[in-house]
Amino acid sequence: MIVNLLNNNHSYSIQKIKNINEWVPGKLFSITLTKDKNFFFKAGQFTRIGFEIENHDNKEKNIIWRAYSMVSSPNEGDLEFYYVIVPNGQFSKILSKLDIDQTVFVRKQSFGFLTVDQFQKSNDNLWLIATGTGISAYISILKDNKTWDYFKKIILVHSVRKTEELTYQTIINKIKEKQSIIGNILNYVPITTKENTHNILHERLPIIIENGILEKKAEEILDCKSSSVMLCGNPAMLLDVRRILIERGFATKNSDDSKNLVMENYW
């Protein structure tokens, strides 16, 4: 009852942690939370999650917030978030100590434009290009059936430092199998920049886009007439790849308001 009253009076709801998954010890985790039945979002969007902290000087309690992309799809009953523990990060310090049943504050509003309805349905294929935890938004997008009304072929490119950070592969493979039955294609292209593993690309994204190696591996042309592109994650990657794509004719906004490039910086 108290929880319900609080939920109604604030811009956030109060949820509980149902599960914590440790992907890479001490570094990469995901949490599953209960979900407010009135929380709506589009696949690819983010919200803000918060925890109460006490001010050491005056002992007052405040809520500290950070933005996180939903990993779960809009019609799933729970909410999932995937996160990295940044050394010395204020919020990361809290995230590194979470427990099952712990309370988490979740903003009632969802935000962001990393959504398929930004594009025309006429484009042939969609490239989802992420570094690190940027894959969060794309798992939500890939799980959502609406995405596959827009695009019949999707290329998911995930660039990380080490092989162990190539997470969510079981889910990616399941989606690939499910979509192939109805004639859709999901090509998954992993990249490890700090480890050279057999059959995995080992080079920074801007380089393998410019020299054509990414297209060869993806078995698809990255062309502004047939492709739509999403970029998500590290701002330095976004800046470099955006420049290359704009040189190739991609646009975040054309004169007729259409676009074939959308992006989301994580910091």
Q: Tell me which residue of 72, 84, 9 sits closest to 35, measured CA to CA.
A: 72
Is 24 a binding residue for ligand FAD by CB under 6 A? The answer is: no
Q: Which is nearer to ligand FAD, 92 or 226 (CB)?
A: 92
Kindly tell me which residue out of 21, 90, 109, 197 binds ligand FAD, with binding defined by CB under 6 A. 90
Token pair 């979740």 is found at 106
Whichever of 71 and 186 has its CB closer to ligand FAD, that residue is 71
Give the interface segment with ligand FAD, choosing from 84-92, 169-177, 188-196, 249-257 (CB under 6 A): 84-92
Q: Spell out the alpha helix ranges (H) of the chain.
A: 2-9, 90-95, 135-143, 145-150, 169-181, 205-210, 213-218, 235-247
CA dist 189 and 176 (Å) reads 13
Q: Spell out, one character per residue from 237 to 256, where the chain touches ligand FAD: x when CB under 6 A holds, - when not.
A: --------------------
Question: Among 17, 20, 53, 67, which residue interacts with ligand FAD (rule: CB under 6 A)?
Answer: 67
Among 69, 123, 147, 227, binds ligand FAD (CB under 6 A): 69
Q: Taking CB under 6 A as the rule, does residue 66 contact ligand FAD?
A: yes
The one-letter amino acid code at 134 reads G
| Distance set, CA 82 to CA 11, 96, 147, 225 (Å) | 23, 12, 21, 33
The residue (of 215 and 264) whose beta carbon lies closer to ligand FAD is 264
Amino acid symbol at 223: D
Q: How far apart are the C-alpha atoms of 157 and 260, rounded to whole Å?
A: 17
Shortest Cβ 120–ligand FAD spacing (Å): 24
- Is 133 a binding residue for ligand FAD by CB under 6 A? The answer is yes
Q: Is 127 in the site for ligand FAD (CB under 6 A)?
A: no
| Upper half-sphere CA count for residue 54 (Cβ side, 13 Å) | 4
Beta strand 125-131 pairing with 227-233: parallel
Using rule CB under 6 A, residue 50 touches ligand FAD: no
Q: Which is nearer to ligand FAD, 57 or 267 (CB)?
A: 267
Q: How far is residue 160's CA from residue 134's CA, in Å, rounded to a whole number?
A: 10
Cβ distance to ligand FAD smaller for residue 41 or 82: 82
**Minimum CB distance to ligand FAD smaller for 123 or for 131:** 131
Which candidate, 136, 132, 124, places its Cα nearest to that of 229? 124
Q: Which residues form the interface with ligand FAD (CB under 6 A)?
A: 46, 66-69, 82-84, 86, 89-92, 112, 132-133, 136, 264, 266-267
